[in-house]
Amino acid sequence: MNESALLTDLYQLTMLQGYWHEGMAETAVFELFVRRFPPQRNFLVAAGLAQALDYLENLRFHEAEIAYLAETGLFQDEFLETLRDFRFHGDVDAMPEGTVFFPDEPILRVTAPLPEAQLVETRLINLLQFQTLIASKAVRCVLAAPGKRQVDFGLRRAHGAEAGLLAARAAYLAGFAGTSNVLAGQRFGIPVFGTMAHSYVMAHDDELAAFRGFARSQPHNVVLLIDTYDTLAAVDKVVALAGELEKENIRIKAVRIDSGDLRELARAVRQRLDRAGRTDIGIFASGDLDEYKLQALRDAPIDGFGVGTKLTTSSDVPYLNCAYKLEAYAGIPRRKVSAGKQTWPGAKQVYRYYAEDGTLAYDSLTTAEDRQNGEALLQPVMRRGKRLHPPEPLSVLRERVAAQLERLPVPLRSIDQQAGYRVEISPALQRLTETTDQRLGLH
Amino acid sequence: MNESALLTDLYQLTMLQGYWHEGMAETAVFELFVRRFPPQRNFLVAAGLAQALDYLENLRFHEAEIAYLAETGLFQDEFLETLRDFRFHGDVDAMPEGTVFFPDEPILRVTAPLPEAQLVETRLINLLQFQTLIASKAVRCVLAAPGKRQVDFGLRRAHGAEAGLLAARAAYLAGFAGTSNVLAGQRFGIPVFGTMAHSYVMAHDDELAAFRGFARSQPHNVVLLIDTYDTLAAVDKVVALAGELEKENIRIKAVRIDSGDLRELARAVRQRLDRAGRTDIGIFASGDLDEYKLQALRDAPIDGFGVGTKLTTSSDVPYLNCAYKLEAYAGIPRRKVSAGKQTWPGAKQVYRYYAEDGTLAYDSLTTAEDRQNGEALLQPVMRRGKRLHPPEPLSVLRERVAAQLERLPVPLRSIDQQAGYRVEISPALQRLTETTDQRLGLH
């Protein structure tokens, strides 16, 4: 990860100079939440906390960065001096990664001296909104084609290297089987998948020779791409080759189709394979897939899917209306009332309530001091700039997501239907909002 | 930039093992192009070549990367040994960054031993499609509000760190005035902009005190955000403060509005400032902007715009149908004929022709050997793995884009109208396609 302290908006630094000038360093509370959900999302899945905490723990300004800031001519030397010792010493409470959440619910709360809590805004949003975006998209793919193995193929059209890397992580924690992204495999321990592209077939003068050469070069990972020229003719070559390779103890695991009408082709390919007695050869499909196409293909004879561009860019919803807002400073709750951008004041907590059958019933958004019987979703994760626990393994996050999906009410699980979920504003939070507005002269 | 050689799809490496096994290392030609354009784009602007060439020059496998590949169990030790000395020794021809291009036109051609040309596919697409995507979106913003200063504000909702960094670069080369992204300022020398957020105002008990404190802390960079509470009431405070600060030789340069009906608010704010004799204070606007909103605001009394999320995610078109395809191997032209994914075979060149008034007339897509009178768009940029020229300064790229926009036919400049542009398939390329199809047995 590129964790330069300069990976932020300039205004964070000019505000820091202002706070320094005015001697404002008392405790601030900021919360990160998604204001309104796009109509295509019934719920979101929180993700990216591990990277956010890494960032906070390692944040510091290096010599060359301070020198660059000096060159801009915008900063006073005495202020820049203070950046040399700048560290994040704050507290963080957050929903565990993989938690399902709803509009206006904070997924992360930072409590820190004002300048520290301010500076980190940009990168915290950058890290949390992106992985949350992709985990939420990936979960929809999982819901659309349950029981089918899905693999992230999106690196090439991801928005840069980090997007490809973090999208692979977010998709895996959401329930994908793995990724084609080798660096994500190395970095995060995610299973990697991949065999051949059209170029492999095209570089050979003969399709069968390409299949044979590939299979012999990696006898334990033989998936053959059959749609470079004539898909059904290629199946016949695969069948012939399968018999030939058996004598060499090489097994063709599957064929892949990457274009055309996947449903029709899969049916025809399956039929042709079965007639030849090749029920042991699976079918893997890819090409422009998303949750809608996956749902349409769920009863096609396809064993697994490669999901690429539309996952990694969350193409129908390429961003979330995510904000990181000042909720309190120096013990006084704060509130923004800009048109359409009002926020609930003060440090907050979310309590979740379940129905008797274990499914989610409703959430209560309340003040951090309020004590309720529900499940408190925001948990302490960092105190005085240090993590309270080691990062959670991805296996734990995968189990959490799977468990939460099982407890989702059925309408929320639909990828088509718009289904609401009740987030109650607690009486305590309503009272606090009223007193805050009175103080601001809004009543 | 994170340039691990593992930032690729697994299938590139399994194919490399196949090529190694089969002794296939003759020269391959791959080309990168955008197949179909989305209806919202009349043309695209090539960008990202500098980063792509950096990647090719520095590509190598490190010990830990080879060790990870060994752990996957997919690779033979003898093959992995060959990766130790793996370098890119190929040739690259490309359209200069900032060149306007059209469907099916290669913007980059790689000529290299097959394994080298193959491995680099994923990262080349990843780098070139993203910057091209953003430069093309940014140019539309520039066309929509000509003469207005536009600044990239998108880092927080960019898809990770590299997306934020490269989007800032792409927007700047397309004609933006700068970015809020400080790291992009340091890394690329892009002008940085920024002053204050709502949290600055909210952290103060009094809006006027916030304005005053901020102005005194950075007397040369005073832009005040006026929409935290009541925008017009804030203007009166700004006017009063402007008089007060003049005695301290501090000038308020502008106010910023970030919510509400920007057109109506800007008009009311301008009127109130002018009536108070404050024609010297400018108005800067931000909040959910894209080329369509910019066009609607082009005659509003707004001097500059911050354009964020919708630029950095290219939200209406979050990816391009970009491909990197094998066009020839071992001297023989190749062609893919998968449904809907047919390609033109062989190494190609694009010639551009201009009308008498200097505007673009049409392009000719032809074979690399064909010699035409037009302007050849693909230029040699790398030979035997070494750059032929130092990277072009961003100032040169900005001038190139501006010059090209001036030569665009008027219909293509529209952000609303769909306008076609003629890309002729030359007789030479048509003949080559026919002979290739005959060889493949398709006729």
Each residue of B101-117: pLDDT tens digit?
A: 999 999 999 999 999 99
Query: Nearest chain B Cα to A114, which residue?
Result: B203
Across the range A302-315, mean pLDDT stands at 98
pLDDT above 90 coverage of chain B, percent: 94
Is there a contact between B69 and A182 if contact means CB atoms under 8 Å apart? yes
Q: How far apart are CA B237 and CA A50, in angstroms?
A: 43
CATH 3.20.20.70 for domain B145-312, yes or no, is yes
Query: By C-alpha distance, which of A438, A421, A426, A404 is closest to A348?
Result: A426
Query: pLDDT at position A163, please?
Result: 98
The alpha carbon of B246 is separated from its chain's Cα centroid by a whole number of angstroms, namely: 42
Q: How far apart are CA A13 and CA B167, in angstroms?
A: 21
The answer to whether B253 faces chain A, any CB pair under 8 Å, is: no
Separate counts of helices (H) and strands (E) for chain B:
17, 19
Q: How far apart are CA A215 and CA B114, in angstroms?
A: 19
Is there a contact between B227 and A1 if contact means CB atoms under 8 Å apart? no
Q: CB count, 10 Å around CB of A395?
A: 11
Q: Is residue A443 pLDDT above 70, yes or no?
A: no
Query: By C-alpha distance, which of A424, A431, A378 is closest to A106?
Result: A378
Q: What is the mean pLDDT of chain B?
A: 96
Query: pLDDT at position A426, please?
Result: 97
The answer to whether A30 faces chain B, any CB pair under 8 Å, is: yes
B356 three-state secondary structure: coil
B233 three-state secondary structure: helix
- Residue A2 token pair: 């590129």
Q: What is the mean pLDDT of chain A?
A: 96
A175: left (phi over 0), alpha (psi -120 to 50) or beta: left
Q: Are B357 and B55 in contact (CB under 8 A)?
A: no
Q: Is residue A375 pLDDT above 90, yes or no?
A: yes
Spatial CB neighbours of B105, under 8 Å, sequence gap ≥ 6: B33, B95, B350, B363, B365, B377, B423
Q: How far apart are CA B384 and CA B368, in angstroms?
A: 19
CATH 3.20.140.10 for domain A10-135+317-439, yes or no, is yes
Contacts with A339 from chain B: Cβ below 8 Å = 227, 259-261
Q: Is residue A325 pLDDT above 80, yes or no?
A: yes
Q: Is residue A189 pLDDT above 80, yes or no?
A: yes
Band of residue A442 on the pLDDT scale cut at 50, 70, 90: low
Query: pLDDT at position A336, please?
Result: 75
Band of residue A150 on the pLDDT scale cut at 50, 70, 90: very high
pLDDT above 70 coverage of chain B, percent: 98
Query: Nearest chain A Cα to B205, which residue?
Result: A440
Question: Tokens 């055309």 map to which residue?
Answer: A260
Q: How far apart are CA A33 and CA A125, in angstroms?
A: 9
Tell me how many degrees the CA angle A264-A268-A274 measures, rounded to the nearest 5.
145
Band of residue A1 on the pLDDT scale cut at 50, 70, 90: very low
Q: How far apart are CA A90 and CA A386, in angstroms?
A: 8
Query: Could you say which of B15, B213, B329 has the minimum Cβ distance to residue A197?
Result: B15
The DSSP 8-state label assigned to residue A300 in this structure reads S
Spatial CB neighbours of B377, under 8 Å, sequence gap ≥ 6: B95, B99, B101, B105, B349, B350, B351, B352, B363
Contacts with B322 from chain A: Cβ below 8 Å = 156-157
Query: pLDDT at position B147, please?
Result: 92
Query: pLDDT at position B203, please?
Result: 96
Query: By C-alpha distance, which of B9, B308, B351 is closest to A164?
Result: B9
Query: Could you say which of A129, A339, A442 has the minimum Cβ distance to residue B157?
Result: A129
Q: How far apart are CA B107 and CA B377, in angstroms?
A: 8
The answer to whether B336 faces chain A, any CB pair under 8 Å, is: yes
Across the range B170-181, mean pLDDT stands at 98
Q: Give the domain ranges of chain A.
A: 10-135+317-439, 147-312
Spatial CB neighbours of B209, under 8 Å, sequence gap ≥ 6: none
Is there a contact between B202 and A341 if contact means CB atoms under 8 Å apart? no
Query: pLDDT at position A332, please?
Result: 94
Across the range B48-75, mean pLDDT stands at 97
Is there a contact between A217 and B18 if contact means CB atoms under 8 Å apart? yes
Q: How far apart are CA B113 and CA A164, in angstroms?
A: 27
Query: By C-alpha distance, which of A79, A107, A81 is closest to A93?
Result: A107
Q: Is residue B313 pLDDT above 60, yes or no?
A: yes
Interface test with A, best of B71, B121, B217, B309 (most A CBs within 10 A): B217
Query: pLDDT at position B442, please?
Result: 64
Strand positions, DSSP E, A377-438: 379-383, 386-387, 423-425
Question: Tokens 């995968």 map to which residue?
Answer: A398
Count Cβ atoms within 10 A of the Cβ of residue B85 and give its class: 0-12 exposed, 13-18 middle, 19 or more buried. exposed
The alpha carbon of A214 is separated from its chain's Cα centroid by a whole number of angstroms, namely: 34
Q: Is residue B29 pLDDT above 80, yes or no?
A: yes
Band of residue A2 on the pLDDT scale cut at 50, 70, 90: very low
Q: With 0.95 as the threshold, say if the pTM is over it.
A: yes
Query: pLDDT at position B3, please?
Result: 83
Q: Is residue B2 pLDDT above 60, yes or no?
A: no
Q: Are B10 and B89 in contact (CB under 8 A)?
A: no
Count Cβ atoms within 10 A of the Cβ of residue A352 and give its class: 0-12 exposed, 13-18 middle, 19 or more buried. buried
0.90 surpassed by complex ipTM: yes
A3 three-state secondary structure: coil
Contacts with B260 from chain A: Cβ below 8 Å = 338-340
Query: Could you say which of A157, A167, A334 has the minimum Cβ distance to residue B129?
Result: A157
Q: How far apart are CA B318 and CA A290, in angstroms?
A: 14
Class of domain A147-312: alpha beta
**Shortest Cα distance from A422 to chain B (angstroms)?**
27
Band of residue A412 on the pLDDT scale cut at 50, 70, 90: very high
Could you report the per-residue pLDDT of B118-156, keeping only the tens digit for each?
999 999 999 999 999 999 999 999 999 999 999 999 999
Report the side by side order of strands in the sheet with A375-376. Answer: A375-376, A348-354, A360-367, A423-425
Q: Is residue B1 pLDDT above 60, yes or no?
A: no
Contacts with A75 from chain B: Cβ below 8 Å = 218
**Helices A161-173 + B121-144 axis angle, to 10:** 110
- Residue B407 token pair: 């030569």
Please compute, for residue A167, the number of CA atoms within 13 A of its CA located in the half-sphere on the CB side.
Answer: 36
B10-135+319-439: CATH homologous superfamily?
nicotinate phosphoribosyltransferase (3.20.140.10)
Cα Dmax for chain A: 85
Q: Is residue A286 pLDDT above 60, yes or no?
A: yes
CA distance from start to end of chain B = 47
Contacts with A51 from chain B: Cβ below 8 Å = none
Across the range B367-390, mean pLDDT stands at 97
